[in-house]
A and B are shown apart, each in its own frame.
Chain A
């Protein structure tokens, strides 16, 4: 049997249309949520076997949610701004009573007794959750090859990775299995797969979206964000999950921003006077030529729409990778301690003479190689006698990065870089040497360390015909500006 090699949808030209279209139609009674869902399930039925975007498809629950939305409309009740939009959820977001695995053997079968804040907000806004998507185990990776349940394939070319760690969510949207999706981004895990799968992905300002119910990888870097076909859909989704949550102490205590309006403004009026800085350190060495060519195209579109463009050096970006690979594993080593076989998830007690051995056996059997590597790295970085040289030093670098970006934002409103140094790579290309894999996140990691927002927006294809995204970065809470500028780049596609 020869498998198809391509399963991508283009929403602008046919059914089911953008998420904004779906919600508008469903709210107005022009289409039913059940019909919209059926279209997406038809695509899942046809192509999920090739793509493997999901760890779990919520067939029954999604059907019930869609029916509830339709019943509300029939009763004259507005189901909410995301009415009937099929949404995919990264499988590190807790869903009450529904298996949440983080694509790890150690959590296989675990059903959380509660739902993440974002999951609750989606349901309250009328969205329909279609499934839990595959990821690199505990969100550690850049290709989804680190999933314990097998990799996800890039819908544009099934021999290529979708990126990661939110590869399942990116692929689900690109393949038309869901209209929009949620991912989490610790070092690029939304933006890089969005770029590789040819869709929009955004990492919001740290604290804009509640992390309550997101299974932690690196708490000071993790942030939930949207995947969508269009910038407007990403804005719509972000608008509905953002906003203060008393259950997350790091959540920003401010009302959610108005983002869809900013996208429409950008599309209609361009970006007159917007100061755009091309980051020198991330727009030359290490980036493939086709990626740089598309970066130039994006810059031209912004310039044409009224932006002034200059170059800026942000020297500390060179230190980001090193700092990230100390801070993230250090926090991970602590966050992942709780998977010890005592309370939930996997327990391997066979051959264990005491509780310590049971814990060790469980963790040895339950975690994959990359997770173990990062736990060891982080444990080492926090150890007595090494803390100052590693974790302490990395935190100082982080402060440096924040200050560097602050300086850059005195001159520029937004910065622009490629999202990924290359287009999607083939399976196995970078698994032999972890460091080559880590390098794929060189452009995305800085905004996680700085806590600032960044968006990846598609801007054509490379020499191999695979999608290329460009990344816009801005200071804290500049989501509206970034989305407006992204809309300009998108408009040229």
Chain B
């Protein structure tokens, strides 16, 4: 969506991703969503006096996987303490990474090929969760608050993009793509609804070619829908202010899902001074070159690579960002397509069948790859019409059968002999002279009428393409 009056949107996103480790980042408590409050806690994640953190090796490995998948450099890093008082933060400081993060300087490629720069992807610990009991649901105006520390100490990686995003749709595509990447690395379950993925958006507007405008950071974006709505609302709010000659105040703003607005949480002047300093209770992380390489080499293919492979399988007929290919990769059905191609199936046909008929991972799991390939070959050799092929495919998925030829035979499907087809076409021309005249005059829409009639006359055995070809030949088109 373009902004009004030529304004350009500038967005950078900060995505907090909870890592799917078995245990927390600095202790051996279970990292488990949805358990009874305050059951997965110990002296360390409660920050009890005297307790000390010990870094979870797997959390580091997951962070490295994320960095590698985002084409970052994995660097030696240290933890810092980010100091501020908040009841759900047990130590009243958060162990995070500041100016020496583990992953720096990468990019994420959207399906359409656009690259969003990644400034950094650093490690930190999650806080507990506060439930404010009272009318507002926020800390001010609450009667009392309940704190659940199960989430305190859950490992996070915060992925900070550069301000390269220019539309709300692009922001949405970025988060969707990032989610796929995170899931592909095995580092995250990607569940936004469980808070495994949390997004903050830095939004500003400018006239193209001008310096970046003053930005506002929008918090509380819990879904892709909130993200796009909030960005659009915020952009328009800023444009209205700018056009009225007012200045944008740099501030943190809260997205309110119900009324569809952002409201000020705190301005830059009120911004906290986090008093970062190196965490003395932890030692520097210095992953060996071998470890970094091993993590990189063990990564599965990322969505962008998989889309590229599918595009290549169609001989480049379909772009990596085309809808069928994006759908197939989203559903993890690319192995089915590529498997069918390896068994002699045609790539373009395989993509279309999978995108249109198979559609879901569950369906795909019921399909025998060699059988699917055999079906594609039969269709390519005109042994089955398109309609028949779809019917066979549906039955293969319903019954998990692997031999399309057997199904075709059982259903009495067979390729219509071209001589029979010619006879049929000639009969239809004779029966419908007026329609044929219109076809000869160039009204190609009438071809559909003839194909339909041929299907009806043949009980669905006629090949639509063959019939159309014969008609055009007869009509001299």
CB distance from B136 to the nearest CB of A (A): 12
Q: Complex formed: what's the CA distance from A167 to B476 in Å?
A: 111
CB distance from A398 to the nearest CB of B (A): 12
Beta-carbon contact of A342 and B147 below 8 Å? yes
Beta-carbon contact of B275 and A382 below 8 Å? yes
Task: Tell whether A384 is near chain B: CB-to-CB under 8 Å.
Answer: yes
Task: Write out the residue numbers on chain B whose beta carbons fall within 8 Å of the beta carbon of A331.
Answer: 277, 280
Beta-carbon contact of A112 and B48 below 8 Å? yes
Task: Tell whether B140 is near chain A: CB-to-CB under 8 Å.
Answer: yes
Task: Tell whether A249 is near chain B: CB-to-CB under 8 Å.
Answer: yes
Task: Tell whether B85 is near chain A: CB-to-CB under 8 Å.
Answer: yes
- Surface stretch bound by A, among B49-57, B102-110, B165-173, B286-294: B49-57
Beta-carbon contact of B277 and A247 below 8 Å? no
Q: Who on chain B is nearest to A341 by CB?
A: B87
Beta-carbon contact of B87 and A340 below 8 Å? yes
Task: Write out the residue numbers on chain B whose beta carbons fall within 8 Å of the beta carbon of A356.
Answer: 85
Task: Write out the residue numbers on chain B whose beta carbons fall within 8 Å of the beta carbon of A107.
Answer: 49
Q: Complex formed: what's the CA distance from A250 to B282 in Å?
A: 7
Task: Tell whether A248 is near chain B: CB-to-CB under 8 Å.
Answer: yes
Residue of A112, A216, A246, A334 ringed by the most chain B CB atoms within 10 A: A334
Beta-carbon contact of B52 and A247 below 8 Å? yes
Task: Tell whether B335 is near chain A: CB-to-CB under 8 Å.
Answer: no
Interface residue from B50, B83, B90, B273 paired with A94 (Cβ < 8 Å): B50
Known contacts A249-B52, A337-B85; is-contact A219 B93 (Cβ 8 Å):
no
Q: Who on chain B is nearest to A116 by CB?
A: B50
Beta-carbon contact of A343 and B90 below 8 Å? yes
Question: Interface size class for chain A?
Answer: 35 or more
Q: Complex formed: what's the CA distance from A113 to B91 in Å?
A: 17
Mostly helix, strand, loop or mixed at chain B's interface? loop
Q: Complex formed: what's the CA distance from A379 to B84 in Å?
A: 11
Interface residue from B43, B139, B273, B281 paired with A249 (Cβ < 8 Å): B281
Question: Interface size class for chain B?
Answer: 20 to 34
Beta-carbon contact of B283 and A250 below 8 Å? yes
Q: Complex formed: what's the CA distance from A246 to B277 in Å?
A: 24
Interface residue from A100, A110, A330, A334 paired with B93 (Cβ < 8 Å): A334
Q: Complex formed: what's the CA distance from A356 to B85 in Å?
A: 8
Beta-carbon contact of B48 and A387 below 8 Å? no
Beta-carbon contact of A337 and B277 below 8 Å? no
What mask results when residues 37 to 69 of chain B are scored 1 for a CB within 8 Å of chain A, else 0? 000000100111111111100000000000000
Task: Write out the residue numbers on chain A whose beta carbons fall within 8 Å of the beta carbon of B46.
Answer: 343
Task: Tell whether A355 is near chain B: CB-to-CB under 8 Å.
Answer: yes
Q: Complex formed: what's the CA distance from A215 to B283 in Å?
A: 19
Beta-carbon contact of A94 and B282 below 8 Å? no
- Surface stretch bound by B, among A56-64, A206-214, A482-490: A206-214
Beta-carbon contact of B48 and A344 below 8 Å? yes
Task: Write out the residue numbers on chain A whose beta carbons fall within 8 Å of the beta carbon of B55.
Answer: 249
Q: Complex formed: what's the CA distance from A213 to B42 in Å?
A: 13
What mask results when residues 74 to 106 of chain B are scored 1 for a CB within 8 Å of chain A, else 0? 000000010101010011110000000000000
Interface residue from B50, B83, B139, B281 paired with A215 (Cβ < 8 Å): B50
Beta-carbon contact of A387 and B92 below 8 Å? no
Q: Complex formed: what's the CA distance from A246 to B52 in Å?
A: 10
Interface residues of A in 298-354 (CB under 8 A from B): 330-331, 333-334, 337-338, 340, 342-344, 354
Task: Write out the residue numbers on chain A whose beta carbons fall within 8 Å of the beta carbon of B91.
Answer: 337-338
Interface residues of B in 263-287 (CB under 8 A from A): 273, 275-277, 280-283
Task: Tell whether B145 is near chain A: CB-to-CB under 8 Å.
Answer: yes
Q: Complex formed: what's the CA distance from A213 to B51 in Å?
A: 6
Beta-carbon contact of B49 and A338 below 8 Å? yes
Q: Complex formed: what's the CA distance from A116 to B52 in Å?
A: 11
Task: Write out the residue numbers on chain B whose beta carbons fall within 8 Å of the beta carbon of A211.
Answer: 52
CB distance from B95 to the nearest CB of A (A): 11
A-side residues, CB < 8 A to B, are 92-94, 100, 102, 107, 110, 112-114, 116, 211-216, 218-220, 246-250, 330-331, 333-334, 337-338, 340, 342-344, 354-356, 359, 379, 382-384, 387, 391
Would you list 14 pairs from A and B whose C-beta atoms are within 8 A, ordered by A residue?
A: A93-B50, A100-B50, A107-B49, A211-B52, A212-B52, A246-B54, A249-B52, A249-B53, A249-B54, A331-B277, A334-B275, A338-B92, A355-B145, A382-B83
Q: In the A-B complex, list the 8 residue pairs whose CB atoms are closest, starting with the nearest.
A: A337-B92, A382-B275, A220-B280, A219-B280, A215-B49, A213-B50, A94-B50, A215-B50
